[in-house]
Structure 1
Amino acid sequence: MLPEGATWVEAFDDPAEATLFPEEEAAIARAVDKRRREFTTVRHCARRAMAELGVPPAPLLPGERGAPQWPAGVVGSMTHCAGYRAAVVGPAGTVVTIGIDAEPHEPLPGGVLDAVSLPEERARLRELSTQDGKVHWDRVLFSCKESVYKAWFPLTGAWLDFEQADLTFDAAGGTFHARLLKPGGQAEGRPLTEFTGRWLAADGFVVSAIVRLRER
């Protein structure tokens, strides 16, 4: 799912060797056990991925709106859900932004789809369901929109509502395209109008990823 230049590490449990820096411990001091385990393991994944880039271990503290603060020269994204944690990183000289998300492969709770989608997106999902009824397309849409936001926010520092990205899907190719409906974003000095990414529904999970590489 990832292009050359991006490094990833995933985990399906919470390894005993996963530990936190003191600064991270302070940030999570009041969290319940479930949140603490997710927070710890996903940072363990991120530091292992950073090590593959030759970047030494460092605290990864939550910043504005909870977005992780990466060391200088590193671009990355983290995600976790029940039974799965993952991190993707890349060198800032090669990668513009990364957004990843993982979700359980099951239908969204009642009423959520209407809140996170545009009418034309819901029409597309109905058509996709006739092509492949085994995929929970509402959950795929939700995951991909989460990845869009995670890729958008580091570039803009601005909120992006669910209805401010219009998504289309290639069911056979496992790709998606996001048309951004909020003006003002920029990437490499040009207006930020779209993202492309990949999605996968397998083994009980939906995973989506956007990795935008720098133009050469």
Structure 2
Amino acid sequence: MPEILYADAAVAVVVKPAGVLSQGDAEDAMPALLQKQLGGAIFPVHRLDQPTGGVMVYARTQDAAAKLSAQMQSEAFGKEYLAVLDGAPEPAEGELHDLLFFDRQKGKSYAVRRKRAGVKDARLAYRVLAQAEGLTLVRVRLFTGRTHQIRVQFSSRGWPLTGDGKYGSRNNRCTPALWSAELHFAHPVTGETLTFRSQPPEAYPWTLFSPDSL
């Protein structure tokens, strides 16, 4: 069962295991698993790709879901990730700006040069934390939430996520090395700013890096 970091009548903050669907009606998807643990309704307000694990928030009322969804358009709702990349990004700290197009038939996002129907702006900031065995650990802050955004923005520059064969990694020792490490939001009832963190699992490639760097 997913680890529950915090729960009250309005929200539930949990650690989604890698490989579990964050949305949907399947019995082994997060909403159904949380209903079994907590009872009552569960309303997804954001998503993680199935291979990605880490901290998420779910609403427990429709009103809380509406307020959290509205926050996602502002800096009140913030997400930071840890990722391991093939290669070494240059510079060691910066922002990436792209136009992304998601091809639904192929289930894949692409960085494109021109605006057209379906193309969306994408922006993130990153900072190199450590390097080991030709791989680089980075911390990523998302300013937009596009499909496969982190994966395609790094891969389009020649630094795919380790284990992400879909976007060009030749390392097949793991699933895409991406973890939702930190989440902050204003509580939809009290307005209090809440911050939650989660460490990636003790597995390759995360174990290449010292715990102090994660």
Bin of the TM-score, shorter chain as denominator length: 0.3 to 0.5
Structure with more helix by fraction: 1
| TM-score normalised to structure 2 length | 0.33
